Amino acid sequence: MARRDHDDDDEEEVDEDEEEEDEGEGEDDFINDAGADLPDEDVVRGSRRHSIPMRDEEEDIDEIERQVRERYARSTHIEYGEEAAEVEQQALLPSVKDPKLWMVKCAIGHERETAICLMQKFIDRSDLQIKSVVALDHLKNYIYVEAEKEAHVKEACKGLRNIYASAKITLVPIKEMADVLSVESKSVDLSRDSWVRMKLGIYKGDLAKVVDVDNVRQRVDVKLIPRIDLQALASKLEGESVKKKAFVPPPRFFNIDEAR
């Protein structure tokens, strides 16, 4: 028994020696005798960056978002697009830096003609220093001229037959300049069974009776004496081309026998 135990010990020692030799041979396989090149510093840094956990990236995004919110929270009002181009109505009103508005007396009934002649004179002569001319339909005997000085207005109006040499020129106050060109919209209150006058078309000037009012669609139905051109209607039904004529049919009640 003792001999067998000794043999076993010898075998174990031999096995250990062989394992050490095998390990040595394995190490030799991985060792480069010529010497391995050390990795570049940039490569090492890159590998470290790629090894950052996703949790850190999410934290960075949250931190950036927090900084952006803090930065723009200081701004009380931010406008984008069309809102940035909006200007307060008060800034559009005339000021002392703008040209003045002058009211010039002219021949009554020739207000529009005078304004056109004055603007044509401005186009033909580059030395005139007026800016614009306005003639209002509801204002008789006067026109408005925009210029820096009264002398500029007098020079522009000199020689016009509808403006006398002694014509009075009045300065319009700055506060009233905006009211000169303001237009007031008139609301017309129509009701059923009321009477109106037509303003357009072949029925212009005719008297009509309101039979229905649609306030939602802003529409009114009226009843009036028709103006029917039976000859033009017959030609159209026969397929003939009907030329527009200046002739306006007289108002007549519809006659079915005549229409046949």
pLDDT (mean) for 203-222: 89
Domain boundaries, the chain: 95-179, 230-259
pLDDT tens column, 216-238 = 888 899 999 888 877 777 777 77
Give yes or no for a contact between 248 and 202, defined as CB atoms under 8 angstroms apart: yes
Higher pLDDT, 251 or 181: 251
* Measured distance CA(161)–CA(113) in Å, rounded: 11
Share of the chain above pLDDT 90, in %: 30
Position 212 scores a pLDDT of 92
**Class at the top of the CATH hierarchy for domain 95-179:** alpha beta
pTM value?
A: 0.42
Position 48 scores a pLDDT of 47
pLDDT tens column, 97-153 = 889 999 999 999 999 999 999 999 999 998 999 999 999 988 899 999 999 999 999
Position 176 scores a pLDDT of 87
Position 20 scores a pLDDT of 47
pLDDT tens column, 51-62 = 445 555 556 777
